[in-house]
Amino acid sequence: MYSIKYIPASTSNYRAGRSHKIDQIIIHFTATEAPAYNNGVYFSRPNGETSAHYFLDGSGTIIQSVQDKDIAWHAVQANYRSIGIEVVSSGRDFTEAEILELQWLVTWKMKEYGISKSGVLRHFDVTGKQCPRPYVDNAKWQKLKDRITTQIDTQSKLIIYSYWRGHNQQWAFVKDKNGKTVIVNRKSGKAIDVANGDYTPGQQLIAYEQNDGANQDFTVKDVTPQEAVGLKISPVQADKLALAVSGASYKAGTPVILWDYKAGSAEQLFMPVIAVKVSGVTYYTLFSCGALKAGLPLCLDEAS
């Protein structure tokens, strides 16, 4: 749901290569309100041997300055084993948008390198520097750390659930600014999202804030296989995968997952059937075609 833009740091600002495994993530603040992009440009020039791997400001685009495989100079004795992340703040608390980006990046890197929660540290923990200043307070840091080390897939899951005319079973097909289709829930306003951009077959789908992310772009095609008529709904980023009913089980409570597209499989076809119009937007109840008789529509969690 976020993108990474790489603006290579000047080679005089970091050391190429590393031999120790990455087992720490060090959080910093930039001490100015200059956007992440400006930081990327600044560190692309020689600046007296300082650097960090990532800069983020809540804009949705994270700037990478140094590659993970190289050693950035941000936390002295911890440099050789760590990834340094700088969050834009002149000293204020991180914004909600920054915390969400930080959570996404930190949980991704924890997973990628097998880093434990105890390996996520403040610059302050390493050298005693007042960084990140708003989180030098231990109670505040603990709260932030709990959030940014928790996987984002605690969002509402998409499941198949018995029809009860609930708003959380109604979906609109809307176009994002790039002309791609985003499928938005009527009740929450959240969009169907591929969790953490993970397109592995079997991945469970979630509903997440609509933010024009690539993981929220779906193609919707009419499909008329031999015995079924319905819509095939596939992520733009992974067109060979389609929304599917988990294990072809049509029991209420079955999660909706991404799976290799099999033309004609009823568990991968959805039918927009009952429509309501709210403020000019048409919402449909999306029924799984294999379950029309049972009446099981795509639903955002249960009735929550």
Closer by beta carbon to Zn ion, 64 or else 210:
64
Closer by beta carbon to Zn ion, 31 or else 214:
31
Residue type, 248: A
* 183 is an interface residue for Zn ion by CB under 5 A: no
* 123 is an interface residue for Zn ion by CB under 5 A: yes
Closer by beta carbon to Zn ion, 133 or else 232:
133
Q: How far is the CB of 128 from Zn ion (least distance, A)?
A: 11
d(CA 167, CA 300): 9
d(CA 55, CA 42): 11
Q: How far is the CB of 55 from Zn ion (least distance, A)?
A: 12
Among the listed residues 36, 87, 100, 131, the single contact to Zn ion using CB under 5 A:
131
Q: What is the DSSP string of 276-288?
A: EEETTEEEEEEEE
Q: How far is the CB of 272 from Zn ion (least distance, A)?
A: 51
* Among 21-29, 137-145, 188-196, 234-242, the segment contacting Zn ion (CB under 5 A): 21-29
d(CA 223, CA 191): 23
Strand order through the sheet with 298-300: 241-245, 254-260, 158-160, 298-300
Estimate to the nearest angstrom the gap between the alpha carbon of 182 and the chain centroid: 15
* 157 is an interface residue for Zn ion by CB under 5 A: no
Give the pair of three-digit tokens for residue 52. Answer: 């960090």
- Which neighbouring-strand residues pair with 218? 181, 235
d(CA 59, CA 32): 16
Closer by beta carbon to Zn ion, 123 or else 145:
123
* Count of Cβ atoms closer than 10 Å to residue 16 Cβ: 10
Q: How far is the CB of 26 from Zn ion (least distance, A)?
A: 7
Restricted to residues 27-56, the positions that interact with Zn ion (CB under 5 A) are: 28
Binding mask 80-119 for Zn ion (x = CB under 5 A): ----------------------------------------
Binding footprint of Zn ion on the chain (CB under 5 A): 28, 123, 131
